[in-house]
Amino acid sequence: MSFWRSIRVGIISIAYLLIQSGPILALDTKPKRFISINLCTDQLLLDLASKEQILALSHMIGDSNSSPYSERVKGIPLIQGTVEEILTLDPDLVFASNHSNPITINLLRRLGIKVQTIPSVKDLSQIETNIDTVANAIGQTTRANQVKAAIRTLLKKYKRKEKLYRPVAATIWANNISAGKGTLQHSIIAFLGFKNLSEKLNVTGLYSLPLEVLIEKKPNLLLVSHYKNAPSLSNAIFSHPALKKAFGSETILKIPDKIWLCGTPASYKALELIGEGWRERQR
Amino acid sequence: MTLLTIDELSVKIGSSPILNSVTFELQQGKIIGLMGANGSGKSTLLKAIADLIPYSGQIFWRGQPIKKLPSRARAKTIGYLGQSRLPSWSLSVRDFVALGRLPFEDRNKNGGKKILEKSIFECDLADLSDRLVTQLSGGELARARIARVIAGEPTLLLLDEPIAGLDPLHQLEIMHLLQEKVSEGLTVFLILHDLSLAARFTNRLILLKEGCILVEGPTAPVLNSTNLAEAFKINSRYCVTDGIPYVVPTYPIKTLSEPQKG
Amino acid sequence: MKKNSYHFRKTLSVLSGLVFLFFLLSLSLGPSDLTIFDFWSLGETKKNDTTWLIFFEIRLPRAILGLAVGMSLGLAGAALQGYLRNPLAEPGIIGVSTSASLFTVIIFYSGLSAGFALLMPFAGILGATSAVLILQSLAGRNASALTVVLAGVAISSFSGALISLALNFSANPFATYEIVFWLLGSVADRGLDQVAIALPFMAVGWALLLWSGNPLDALTLGEEEAASLGYKLSRVRAQLVFGTAVAVGSATSIAGTIGFVGLVVPHLLRPFVGNRPKLLLSASALGGAALVLAADIAVRLLPFKQELKLGVITALIGAPFFLLLIIKHRRSVL
């Protein structure tokens, strides 16, 4: 083979190799794009990802009644969460909750789309675990550490020192639902040093709390979570005369439902609200 | 004396005339019969007098326009029995007859109870007073209905075919009963189809034909063959046996003269 | 059947006794540990004391509401059966209750009643009136029992569907599930303030219906003879229609649709009052109150986590009863 011929082969080979490896190099530098189809994972993504990483979020995050982030979603497409919408957008990874529709998740996986399910939070400590899971998947560990640091400062501020006297707190939602042991809300009030009314009643999880029992047990603090002011029989308890007469304004603390619906960094706001509210009432 | 004066009474249902300028008087203390072919307007006339349907023309009660009489006072003076028989609920005979006292609102008072028992007794229902009306025979039910209407102690009775469908015994029973009440001062204006019973028990008779009065007056002259032919399209004969009058109708009608031979 | 009036007085006393007993029982039942003896020993306690609150603001309204709703339904059932001469008539079956619920749902979920609580019973009454008027035009004046029931089924189904639609339009996501309340009814968790608004309307309805006792008796003889006894039929009809609409409409606006009470009670009590429509009215009022109070007690004694709705109990009793009635009256009614 002549010298010039070898050079030509060499140049063509190198060029060929470069072209073949081009896409691989491109993959390395192109930013990954993510979709979330659950209100709670929406919030995690908003807190941890950068704007270009978010391809779409679920429509619930735009509803100011369910979401504390509704103002931050300007410019982000909001979807219903159907397989069709997701296919069209072609994400690299979809975040869902372990309670999201299993049919949707199965179909997405069969079509080759990666889905990461994040467990719903039953305890404060699980929030940090979830933050780590999401942060690792999207490659934002630095930001995650910042968020976790802020959380820890807040926790230090509100952790109650005396464990002897534990005032009784009760939570109440529409339809007389209350939160017992094994729920996020319970772990928040337990952290703040309260005894949950549900412990007196020996119930766990979300349970139905009759108005009579609530009045009879007279908790020191009643946390009222109003979903929405639109009329519904579920809200009847909030305007029942017996409730108003039994608990004065110093006993009732209103918590917007959207704050602690999900286990996300925003939930710590609830902790703050309750902590501050209780301190004020002690003065 | 004249109890009821009907003046130019007309009734229209939709655009079809049922009664046309009917005029007559009812005298107190008499049994007046109302007869006519089916559809001639008999029931309609009775209903108009009972103020159950709208009409044009005038009705005078003892000389005053009847419209001036409030419905409660009217209910206490004029009793009405319609054609439908079976009551909607199975009341006891006593409770059923007691309904006649409704306009007086004294069903539970002593005065009302006395009148109630009297009516039951007069209609020979004493043994049946605790039976349910649905358990009565036709004749017994007819007596009960009469008892109900006389329990109101009316001055005038309007009866629409009170004896239709009854066997001869019970028919006579009712007619005798009515005759007795009339002798005590009641006035009865009743619709019937039986020519012989009409001949025997009514004092006066009105024959209706196609919504107009064909003839009106004391019974016997009204029941002549010309009138009956005109009203019912039948031949007839008025007979009297042992002082009891009866009418024999024959069919078909050919002419009023002797039938043609051949 | 010797002395009918004696039977009647005895029946009324027994029924009154039952109502009183159930009322007291209702006051004694509840998820908290308080019993009626705690109530008796209240004495000089303050108005905001827990025991006082539980009895006066939670249990008392519930018992009063149960009694009042039961009276309205029993009375309306007896009146409707007497007027229509139809053993199958009752406010639930002929669609009056469901229509009342529909109008109330529209007023409540649209937020219109937020400022004017009086709008709720008004809406219920308007809905009930519409149903009766539509029923009359559908079934005609001398309709058979079957026609009336069929027309009622049509009205009921249509209103029920519209309720579901209206609830879906609501801004509050819980609303869709509340159809269970509106179609099955409940007297639980109402405050004295709400009961106090609906009660006067119900009382007006009771007065109108009880007052129609004599005309109903007269109607036993049929419309013509009843008129000859001095009763203006158009007036009687208006009184009955309005009375039923007001009593049932206001009751439904606060407690939802509770069916079959107006069917079962008059039927059970009719033999005890000698089949007399007028006496049946007051007997059915008390009987209805007793039945609803008893059902409300049963609902609290059943071991379910979520309290069963009242209408379930009344339907469990009433629907088989309804079928039996149809079979029994098959020939005469249908």
- Between A260 and B72, residue with greater pLDDT: B72
Q: What is the pLDDT of residue C2?
A: 45
**Is residue A59 very low, low, confident or very high in pLDDT (cuts 50, 70, 90)?**
confident
d(CA C98, nearest CA chain B) in Å: 28
Q: What's the average model confidence in pLDDT over C25-36?
A: 82
Q: Tens digits of per-residue pLDDT, C236-256?
A: 988 988 999 999 999 999 999
User: How do beta strands A168-172 and A78-79 pair?
Assistant: unpaired
Q: Tens digits of per-residue pLDDT, C101-153?
A: 999 999 998 888 877 888 989 999 999 999 988 887 877 666 676 788 888 88
**Is residue B51 very low, low, confident or very high in pLDDT (cuts 50, 70, 90)?**
very high
User: How do beta strands A168-172 and A221-224 pair?
Assistant: parallel
Cβ burial A133-156 (10 Å sphere, 16+ → b, else e): bbbebbebeebbeebbeebeebee
pLDDT higher than threshold 90 for residue B191: yes
Is A241 in Cβ contact with C32 (below 8 Å)?
Answer: no
Is the CB of residue A211 less than 8 Å away from at least one CB of chain C? yes
The two tokens of residue B5 are 């004066």
Q: Tens digits of per-residue pLDDT, A151-188?
A: 888 888 887 766 677 889 999 988 888 999 989 899 98
Q: What is the pLDDT of residue A73?
A: 84
Instruction: Tell me the CA distances in angstroms from B246 to B170, B200, C295, one per residue in order.
Output: 18, 7, 69
**Is residue B257 very low, low, confident or very high in pLDDT (cuts 50, 70, 90)?**
low
Q: Tens digits of per-residue pLDDT, B146-169?
A: 999 999 999 999 999 999 888 899
Is B79 in Cβ contact with C217 (below 8 Å)?
Answer: no
Residue of B49, B69, B89, B96 to mutate, interface with C, max C Cβ within 10 Å: B89
* Residue C16, C-beta contacts closer than 8 angstroms, at least 6 positions apart: C286
**Is residue C1 very low, low, confident or very high in pLDDT (cuts 50, 70, 90)?**
very low
Q: What's the mean per-residue pLDDT of chain C? A: 88
pLDDT higher than threshold 50 for residue A251: yes
Q: What is the pLDDT of residue B15?
A: 86
**Is residue C330 very low, low, confident or very high in pLDDT (cuts 50, 70, 90)?**
confident
Measured between CA atoms, the residue of chain A closest to residue C29 is A212
By Cβ distance, the residue of C58, C114, C305 closest to A212 is C58
**Is residue B29 very low, low, confident or very high in pLDDT (cuts 50, 70, 90)?**
very high
Q: What's the angle, vertex CA C17, arms to CA C15 and CA C19, rounded to 5?
A: 70
Q: What's the average model confidence in pLDDT over C59-83?
A: 95
User: How do beta strands A78-79 and A54-58 pair?
Assistant: parallel
Is C50 in Cβ contact with A234 (below 8 Å)?
Answer: no
Question: Do the beta carbons of residue B197 and residue B171 sit within 8 Å?
Answer: yes
Q: What's the average model confidence in pLDDT over B103-125?
A: 93
Cα atoms in the Cβ-side hemisphere of radius 13 Å centred on A280: 12
d(CA C47, nearest CA chain A) in Å: 9
Q: What is the pLDDT of residue C44?
A: 55
Question: Do the beta carbons of residue A57 and residue A36 sit within 8 Å?
Answer: yes
Q: What is the pLDDT of residue A160?
A: 73
The two tokens of residue B134 are 């649905």
Is the pair C, A in contact (3+ CB pairs within 8 Å)? Answer: yes
Question: Do the beta carbons of residue B129 and residue B183 sit within 8 Å?
Answer: no
Q: What's the mean per-residue pLDDT of chain B? A: 91
Is the CB of residue B164 less than 8 Å away from at least one CB of chain C? no
Q: What's the average model confidence in pLDDT over A260-276?
A: 85
- Between A116 and C329, residue with greater pLDDT: A116
pLDDT higher than threshold 90 for residue C312: yes
pLDDT higher than threshold 80 for residue B7: yes
Instruction: Tell me the CA distances in angstroms from A60 to A37, A43, A67, A75, one per residue in order.
Output: 9, 10, 7, 15
Helix (H) or strand (E) segment spanning residue B201: helix B195-201
**Is residue B6 very low, low, confident or very high in pLDDT (cuts 50, 70, 90)?**
very high
Is the CB of residue A155 less than 8 Å away from at least one CB of chain C? no
Is the pair B, A in contact (3+ CB pairs within 8 Å)? Answer: no
Most confident of A225-229, C187-191, C198-202, C323-327: C198-202
Task: Of A17-21, A122-126, A277-281, C309-313, give the lowest mean pLDDT range.
Answer: A17-21
The two tokens of residue C279 are 């006496």
Backbone angles phi, psi at C229, to 5 degrees: -85, 5
Is A235 in Cβ contact with C32 (below 8 Å)?
Answer: no
Q: What's the angle, vertex CA A119, arms to CA A264 and CA A192, rounded to 5?
A: 45
CA A247 to centroid of chain Cα atoms:
31
Most confident of C172-186, C194-208, C307-321: C194-208
Q: Tens digits of per-residue pLDDT, B208-239?
A: 999 999 999 999 999 988 999 899 988 888 89
pTM score: 0.83
Is B99 in Cβ contact with C221 (below 8 Å)?
Answer: yes
Residue where the block lists tokens 């069969």: A110
Task: Of A235-244, B68-77, B91-100, give the lowest mean pLDDT range.
Answer: A235-244
Q: Tens digits of per-residue pLDDT, C179-201?
A: 888 889 999 888 888 899 999 99
The two tokens of residue C272 are 């005890």
Three-state SS sequence of chain A: CCHHHHHHHHHHHHHHHHHHHHHHHHHHHCCCCEEECCHHHHHHHHHHCCHHHEEEEEHHHHCCCCCCCHHHHCCCCEECCCHHHHHHHCCCEEEEECCCCHHHHHHHHHCCCCEEEECCCCCHHHHHHHHHHHHHHHCCHHHHHHHHHHHHHHHHHHCCCCCCCCCEEEEECHHHEEECECCHHHHHHHHCCCEEHHHHHCCECEEECCHHHHHHHCCCEEEECCCCCCCCHHHHHHHCHHHHHHCCCCCEEECCHHHHCCCCCCHHHHHHHHHHHHHHHHC
pLDDT higher than threshold 50 for residue A274: yes
Backbone angles phi, psi at C93, to 5 degrees: -65, -35
Q: What's the angle, vertex CA B34, arms to CA C232 and CA B168, rounded to 5?
A: 105
pLDDT higher than threshold 60 for residue B261: no
Residue A256 buriedness (CB in 10 A; 0-12 / 13-18 / 19+): middle
d(CA B252, nearest CA chain C) in Å: 37
pLDDT higher than threshold 70 for residue C260: yes
User: How do beta strands B212-218 and B64-65 pair?
Assistant: unpaired
By Cβ distance, the residue of C224, C228, C275 closest to B75 is C228
pLDDT higher than threshold 70 for residue A22: no
User: How do beta strands B235-241 and B78-81 pair?
Assistant: unpaired
Cα atoms in the Cβ-side hemisphere of radius 13 Å centred on C74: 29
Q: What is the pLDDT of residue A280?
A: 85
Residue C57 per-residue DSSP state:
I
Residue C58 per-residue DSSP state:
I
Of B201, B205, B199, the C-alpha closest to B239 is B199
Give me the residues paired with residue A95 across strands: A36, A116
Q: What is the pLDDT of residue B176?
A: 94
Q: What is the pLDDT of residue C162?
A: 95
Q: How far apart are CA C50 and CA A217, in angstroms?
A: 9
Measured between CA atoms, the residue of chain C closest to residue A246 is C48
- Between C294 and A206, residue with greater pLDDT: C294
d(CA C92, nearest CA chain A) in Å: 22
Is the CB of residue C305 less than 8 Å away from at least one CB of chain A? yes
Residue C146 buriedness (CB in 10 A; 0-12 / 13-18 / 19+): middle
Of B84, B83, B86, B77, the C-alpha closest to B42 is B83
**Is residue A26 very low, low, confident or very high in pLDDT (cuts 50, 70, 90)?**
very low
Backbone angles phi, psi at C89, to 5 degrees: -80, 140
Q: What is the pLDDT of residue B177?
A: 93
Q: How many helices (H) and strands (E) does chain B have?
A: 9, 12
Backbone angles phi, psi at A139, to 5 degrees: 75, 40
Give me the residues paired with residue A117 across strands: A96
**Is residue C228 very low, low, confident or very high in pLDDT (cuts 50, 70, 90)?**
very high
Give me the residues paired with residue B236 across strands: B249
By Cβ distance, the residue of C85, C229, C276 closest to B75 is C229
Q: How far apart are CA C190 and CA C180, in angstroms?
A: 17
Cα atoms in the Cβ-side hemisphere of radius 13 Å centred on B116: 21
Task: Of A13-22, B59-68, C28-37, C184-193, give the lowest mean pLDDT range.
Answer: A13-22
By Cβ distance, the residue of C48, C170, C191 closest to A230 is C170
Q: Residue B21 CB: number of other CB atoms within 10 A?
A: 14
Q: Return the number of CB contacts < 8 Å for A and C.
A: 87
Instruction: Tell me the CA distances in angstroms from A274 to A82, A206, A245, B128, one per residue in order.
Output: 37, 20, 22, 83
Question: Do the beta carbons of residue C265 and residue C238 sit within 8 Å?
Answer: no
The two tokens of residue A70 are 């509704």
Q: Residue A204 CB: number of other CB atoms within 10 A?
A: 14
Is the CB of residue B134 less than 8 Å away from at least one CB of chain C? no
Task: Give residue C304's identity as a one-letter amino acid code.
Answer: F
